[in-house]
Structure 1
Amino acid sequence: MYDKDPLNAMEAVTAAQWLAFAPLAFQATAVMRDRGVLAALSETGKPVGRTIEEVAQATSLSVYAARVLLEAGLGLHIVWRQEGRYFLGRLGRFLLDDEMTRVNFDFTRDVCYQAAAHLDESLMQGRPAGLKELGPWPTLYEGLSVMPEPALSSWHAFDHFYSDGAFPVMCERLAAAPPRKLLDIGCNTGKWAQMCLQRLPQLEVGLVDLQPQLHRARARLEAAGVAQRAHPHPMDLLDPLLALPRGYDLVWMSQFLDCFSEDQVVHILRKAGECLEPGGRLWVLELFWDRQRFEAAAFSLQQTSLYFSCVANGNSQMYDSSVFLGLVQRAGLEISSLTDGVGGYHTLLECRVAS
């Protein structure tokens, strides 16, 4: 879909104006959703035509506020108007009811919006210059467990929304040929580890992450009653002097390597390959923008790369698969199997040490 210019001149000039006013349009949309304007146009799930005055009364907004929001919504095709009455459009319905849209919207507003003003500085300096809008850490990962609200909740909702679709599928795949011991690199909150431990009662799981994330993962696993089969390994994977623990016959990384630069990805994959038992498996679950079925999914991942630039760490991204597969090869690994569409959006790379 990217091998030619898709816009004619009129479409291009219209799109240019949408971009020129995008920050105002984004905020207006957030207010319409959060102040009940969209809901006021949809009672019992059906579109309801209302005048500006009726919307103002239903939302406790002033007539002026309701008018400027609804007129902005006309231009954005969120609402449409007939004989002085406003109706919720299809776009407005997705903004109001679609969980993926809500998660993406909240993530952009609460985590990325203010930081995005520092994108130029971030790209020029190769560091997340916008992160200072959330906290004083060198990268987001040091502050992941202590970010202020609502950024903390919105970040985790964004991260979990996509993994939640893939994890059950992957857990069933794992159960078809279960390992004895699994090493979960970048375990984060322990959600994957919990699912695997509950599904496979003979499994032991090693947890690799920074110490604050391991504390949270441990608390989750204790609450689930499976912590006795989980073994934490706190470490900074970028430390060249530290090696991953051995004795695991499957190494797992999910939505993890996109958090690192190309050279760092190669470094981590080499470590993972070195810790594998003979005949061991390495599974990498990632989101690649060029392997999506729908343009909206590719667009979302392309824009998420800018979050890594100005918020997360300044040097990683959601990768084009051709770039990422080259990194796997540089790390001395071979891909034995590649499966797209896991959970709708993910790609599973099943790797082994190159012979």
Structure 2
Amino acid sequence: MTIQKFNDISAMEALKKAQSIAMGPFVFQAVAAMEELGILKALADLPPGESITREELSGKTGISLYAVGVLTDLAVTADILIEREEKDNGITGEDGGNVSEGKVCSGAIRRGLMLSKVGIYLAHDPMTRVNLSFTRHVCYQGLVFLAESLKNGRPEGLRIFTEDHDTIYPFLSSLPEKAREAWFAFDHFYSDRLFPAVIPELFKMFCPGVIYDVGGNTGKFALAATDYDSAVRVTIIDLPEQCAIARGNIKSAGREERIDVFPVNILEPDPELPGDADVWWLSQFLDCFSTGQISFIVSRIARAAKSGAILAVNEILGDRQKNDVASLVIDASSLYFTALANGVSRFYHARDLIPLIEMAGFSLCYEMDHQGMGHSVLFFRKK
């Protein structure tokens, strides 16, 4: 992470950054509206180097010229769009309106719009689009209650979706459609890219015959593992609501013979867990819990696990990133846990997480950093 000194930037640059924060919600909602109204797509579909006027955008999208104007004016100022002024070809007047056929207005100016580099990322980059959708449909409204969540240690923003649950996890399958799609797209975008790199290494090092996928969600890892190895058996350990979703996916894939589910709330006072696994796989699971809850969970796994079993912990760790962009995404996303998920967890740093796991009865034996989209996989062996 870059450490800046007080005088690293000019006063004007500092003011611009400060105003970008103060007015950031307006810019975000303008981009969201441009996407919903088809304006962003119309701009993204332009051939390279070509531009489109506001009047042409209005006609192409069916959105009023007023709406196109207020959105694109802000987008230009926010460096999302580039406005090019060019001499017109003589078929429009100086005010942008059409003129009679054959009449030439030699002084007319055509003001064309095109995506800037920032706009290109917003329109085309998969990570940016997943993050944008997750922020918009899952987090934005709930983050209004961030300070209240921090004071109370509860996800107060969850009330925008439900008042019947203390955490978001039992409610995931009941989220409104767009929020549900955005949540799972966000989760799978980061976790799915990890599997092709890590699963071969996992089998090469430990040759597991039985794997427990703790917090297995929809069954993505279980299906990937059984795709890779024709003999391995996987049991998904998760909340009953998530196991029901996973069971449907397992059936659709025809894997009922090799993938099972074990419904349980692992935070129950004395959860009964099975103990035959060679590897316990925890993928983006511990970030859903407080440090006290992590100690409880890992201690229960240590008590159930057989001697020599491997605990594989996949997490996005704030102190194991390559650049400031990744660090920004991680630290910002941590506030989702605060305001909406559970009020007490976050994306952890390795320096804080590893001691918690070792104190529960495991020893770190192998590490894989910078996997997938900034993941680290920590392998522990039961003492």
* TM-score normalised according to structure 1 size: 0.96
2:306 counterpart SS class: strand
1:231 counterpart SS class: strand
CA distance in 2, matches of 1:101, 1:92: 11
* Partner in structure 2 of residue 154 of structure 1: 182
The structure carrying a bigger helix percent of its residues is: 1
Matched, 1:213 2:242: yes
1:53 counterpart SS class: helix
Matched, 1:29 2:57: no
Which amino acid letter does the alignment assign opposite residue 166 of structure 2? P
- Equivalent of residue 195 in structure 2, options 167, 180, 203: 167
Which amino acid letter does the alignment assign opposite residue 147 of structure 2? D
CA distance in 1, matches of 2:117, 2:290: 39
| Larger deviation, residues 289-298 vs 258-267 | 289-298
* Partner in structure 2 of residue 13 of structure 1: 15
Structural mapping, 1:102-181, within 5 Å: 102-136=129-163, 137-176=165-204, 177-181=206-210
Partner deviation per Cα, 1:77-119 (whole Å, 9 max, x = no partner): 0011121222211111111111111111010000001101111
Alpha carbons of structure 1 residues 42 and 205: separation in structure 2 relative to 1, 3 Å: closer
- The alpha-carbon deviation at position 225 of structure 1 amounts to 0.8
2:307 counterpart SS class: strand
* Partner in structure 2 of residue 87 of structure 1: 114
* Partner in structure 2 of residue 284 of structure 1: 313
- Equivalent of residue 99 in structure 1, options 117, 126, 129: 126
Kept after mapping to 2: 8 A contact 1:41/1:47: no
Structural mapping, 1:240-319, within 5 Å: 240-319=269-348
- The alpha-carbon deviation at position 11 of structure 1 amounts to 2.0
1:265 counterpart SS class: helix
Kept after mapping to 2: 8 A contact 1:48/1:88: no
CA distance in 2, matches of 1:305, 1:277: 33
Alpha carbons of structure 1 residues 56 and 337: separation in structure 2 relative to 1, 3 Å: same
- The alpha-carbon deviation at position 7 of structure 1 amounts to 4.2
1:291 counterpart SS class: coil
* TM-score normalised according to structure 2 size: 0.89
CA distance in 2, matches of 1:310, 1:31: 24
CA distance in 2, matches of 1:35, 1:321: 42
* Partner in structure 1 of residue 226 of structure 2: 197
Kept after mapping to 1: 8 A contact 2:364/2:379: yes
- The alpha-carbon deviation at position 253 of structure 1 amounts to 0.3
CA distance in 2, matches of 1:236, 1:94: 40
Q: After the TM superposition, which parts of structure 1 deviate over 6 Å for at least 4 consecutive aligned residues?
A: none
CA distance in 1, matches of 2:229, 2:238: 22
CA distance in 2, matches of 1:218, 1:28: 40
1:314 counterpart SS class: coil
RMSD (Å), alpha carbons: 1.5
Kept after mapping to 1: 8 A contact 2:335/2:346: yes
Kept after mapping to 1: 8 A contact 2:2/2:324: no
2:218 counterpart SS class: coil
Kept after mapping to 2: 8 A contact 1:273/1:352: no
Kept after mapping to 2: 8 A contact 1:94/1:101: yes
Alpha carbons of structure 1 residues 246 and 288: separation in structure 2 relative to 1, 3 Å: same
Query: Which 5+ residue runs of structure 1 have no aligned equivalent?
Result: none
CA distance in 2, matches of 1:265, 1:4: 34
Alpha carbons of structure 1 residues 241 and 102: separation in structure 2 relative to 1, 3 Å: same
The total of aligned residue pairs comes to: 354
Alpha carbons of structure 1 residues 208 and 50: separation in structure 2 relative to 1, 3 Å: same
Partner deviation per Cα, 1:130-156 (whole Å, 9 max, x = no partner): 001012211001101111121111100
CA distance in 2, matches of 1:223, 1:107: 27
Kept after mapping to 1: 8 A contact 2:172/2:180: yes
Which amino acid letter does the alignment assign opposite residue 236 of structure 1? N
2:51 counterpart SS class: coil
| Larger deviation, residues 308-317 vs 35-44 | 35-44
